Amino acid sequence: MRYLLVEDNRELADAILGRLALDGHAVDHAASLSEAEEWLATAGYDLILLDVMLPDGDGRDFLARSRAHLETPVIMLTARSQVSDRVGALDMGADDYITKPFDFSELEARCRAVLRRRGGAARNQVALGQALFDPLAGTLSHAGRTVELRNRELRLLEVFARHPGQILSKTQLMDRLFAQDADVTENAIEVYVGRLRRRIDGMGVRIETVRGLGYRMETGGP
């Protein structure tokens, strides 16, 4: 998953960035609404974590203006705990609302819940050949056992699972796996694809190399 965090408190932002990175998510950070607009103009996101009080405006007003063209789910982050504040944020288009200070496990759970709702499924499980993949729970099951995936392998499988049969270039995969300021090259994609291929070997799903174009996931193979 690729997230955009809009938060001007540097200490809190660093803590959130670090926690989400541990789960293998790519997260870009904006400290103001103007920076958020710049990120949104150049990249696509699965989820936005949006603070209410920012140096150049109110996150709720920004969300209300953006909802006409912004379909990305949004969770508001705020120190305000009044019911009227929560209701106002939801009415302006927020998908959820979490009050500071919060436990990071609760934030992660709310992110998963919002993404499940947007995906239109109760558990969001996907059949991949003979395996069953749940990207939000972070599990891959095959032949009655759970296959252990490292976080980056998990996120890569998630990208392929969301685009079955579609050719994805190395650039597209880098965009989904790494924040824009990450110091990585396309060689990293080759490494992670190789690791993932070994993990899913024998599950009736394979990742093909399309020479000169990228990679494609196909099911039905050995």
| Total-model pTM | 0.72
Is the pLDDT at 122 greater than 50? The verdict is no
For residue range 71-82, list pLDDT tens digits in order. 899 999 988 767
Angle between helices 170-177 and 186-200 (to 10 degrees): 90
pLDDT, position 124: 63
Distance (Å, rounded) from C-alpha 83 to C-alpha 144? 45
For residue range 38-48, list pLDDT tens digits in order. 999 988 899 99
pLDDT, position 184: 84
Residues of the chain with pLDDT > 90: what percent? 50
Dihedral in degrees, nearest 10, Cα atoms 143, 146, 147, 153 = 130
Distance (Å, rounded) from C-alpha 16 to C-alpha 10? 10
Is the pLDDT at 12 greater than 60? The verdict is yes
pLDDT, position 115: 84
Is the pLDDT at 181 greater than 70? The verdict is yes
Give 168's pLDDT tier (boundaries 50, 70, 90). Answer: very high
Distance (Å, rounded) from C-alpha 81 to C-alpha 183? 39
pLDDT, position 52: 92
pLDDT, position 119: 61
Q: What is the mean pLDDT of the segment spanning 141-156?
A: 89
Q: What is the mean pLDDT of the segment spanning 192-212?
A: 94
pLDDT, position 47: 94
Token readout for 151 is: 């976080």
Distance (Å, rounded) from C-alpha 201 to C-alpha 146? 14
Distance (Å, rounded) from C-alpha 38 to C-alpha 11? 22
> What does pLDDT average to over the chain?
88
**Residue-range domains of the chain with CATH:** 2-119 (3.40.50.2300), 126-219 (1.10.10.10)
CB-based contacts of 104: which residues, under 8 Å, 6+ apart? 15, 16, 19
pLDDT, position 166: 93
Residues of the chain with pLDDT > 70: what percent? 95
Is the pLDDT at 206 greater than 50? The verdict is yes
For residue range 52-77, list pLDDT tens digits in order. 999 999 999 999 999 888 889 999 99
CB-based contacts of 125: which residues, under 8 Å, 6+ apart? 132, 133, 134
